[in-house]
Amino acid sequence: MLTRIIYVSRALSPMPLEIKDILLASRKNNPVLGITGALCFLDSNYLQYLEGEASTVNALYQKIEKDPRHSHSKILVHDQISQRAYPKWSMALLTWNEETKAIYRLFNPDSALDAYATDPASVPSLLEAWARTPNWMTL
Ligand SMILES: Cc1cc2nc3c(=O)[nH]c(=O)nc-3n(C[C@H](O)[C@H](O)[C@H](O)COP(=O)(O)O)c2cc1C
């Protein structure tokens, strides 16, 4: 059974080097685990999308949640999916720019670009809209 988890969390220190280490670990581990997804770094907050087999996704989330490089993780979406949205991304990275902010505002007109105020109902569509843009760093 395929599952997805979308959560937000607060970065401990918003150092680009830290993000690089997280991406390197993701790109090493996720293909072995059959996990795909996306990581967004938004003004010191993370918004991550994880998809894969339910037990694997749940176990990885438990591990990530305990990572001291972030805190206050809050699940926005945790549900079953019929197919992967990002089968080619072991973990792609997106950050704010004018285009990604404009798309965020379309889906969250009342949020002041605050990842924690992201509407859980529309966050999968927000990620799909972002995914159609070239603002991703992939390997
Ligand atoms: C915001 C955030 C997202 C992360 N995402 C992943 C991930 O998708 N896959 C992964 O293996 N580790 C991820 N990590 C890192 C894990 O918490 C952990 O450090 C890593 O899996 C350990 O890898 P290792 O056992 O190969 O050393 C993430 C950490 C943070 C802070």
Q: Among the residues of the chain, which ranges form H helices?
A: 16-33, 54-65, 98-107, 123-131
Q: Is residue 15 over pLDDT 80? A: no
pLDDT exceeds 80 at position 3: yes
Q: Which residues line ligand 1 (CB under 6 A)?
A: 9, 22, 25-26, 28-30, 39, 46, 48, 60, 63-64, 67, 69-70, 91
Q: What is the pTM of this model?
A: 0.96
Confidence of residue 136 (pLDDT cuts 50, 70, 90): very high
Nearest CA to ligand 1 atom 21: 25
Looking at residue 139, what is its pLDDT? Answer: 60
Whole-angstrom distance, CA of residue 122 vs CA of residue 54: 22
Instruction: Please state, rounded to an integer, the average pLDDT across all residues of the chain.
Output: 95
For 67-96, what is each residue's pLDDT tens digit? 999 999 999 999 999 999 999 999 999 999
User: What number does CATH give the domain 2-137?
Assistant: 3.30.70.100
User: In this structure, what are the phi and psi dihedrals at residue 109, rounded to the nearest 5 degrees?
Assistant: -65, -25
Could you tell which of 22, 46, 75, 86 is best to mutate to test the pocket of ligand 1, judged by most ligand atoms within 8 Å of the CB? Answer: 22
Would you place residue 138 in the very low, low, confident or very high pLDDT band (cuts 50, 70, 90)? confident
Residues sharing a CB contact under 8 Å with residue 105, sequence separation 6 or more, in sequence order:
113
Distance CA 128, CA 86 (A): 9
Residue 48 has pLDDT above 90, yes or no: yes
Give me the helix-helix angle, 123-131 and 98-107, nearest 10°. 150
Indicate whether 27 pLDDT > 90: yes
